[in-house]
Amino acid sequence: MQAFTPAERRGALLVALLLALGAAHDLWRASRPLPASAPLVPVAPAVADSARDLAPERRPGLARALAPTDLNRASAHELDALPGVGPVLAARIIAHRPFRRREELMAVRGIGPRLYARLAPLVTVGEVTGPEAAAPSR
């Protein structure tokens, strides 16, 4: 069996040192409680809980910030600000207009039942006017 070269030994030592430092950092963070003023942010909230917690009636302080977004009038930037919606999905929502009911949002590619459950309390469908009113609903 051939022995490691000096460069390989240094590389292996560096990898072992980085792993040890990472493990020590994780242990240090786990042993220190968060300060009382720091908000606890869930890493992966349940979809139903997040939709219920984001509802404006549950958080009166956020009611103004989370005013329902009108799917027929919102800009791409406003749609992009919704949780789980990025620029591509915002463009798909705009292309799918007009919406007659909020449930039609699930017809947009990329929005399934889970994302719809998160978005439903945050969106509304306003009255359709103009040339879009004559377009058939999908």
Domain positions in the chain: 1-33, 47-134
Domain 47-134 CATH class label: mainly alpha
CA dist., res. 40 & res. 77, Å (int): 28
User: Do the Cβ atoms of 116 and 105 come closer than 8 Å?
Assistant: yes
Peptide bond into 136 cis (omega under 30): no
Tens-place pLDDT, residues 44-99: 444 445 545 555 455 444 444 557 899 999 999 999 999 999 999 999 999 999 99
Cβ-count burial of 98 within 10 angstroms (0-12 exposed, 13-18 middle, 19+ buried)?
buried
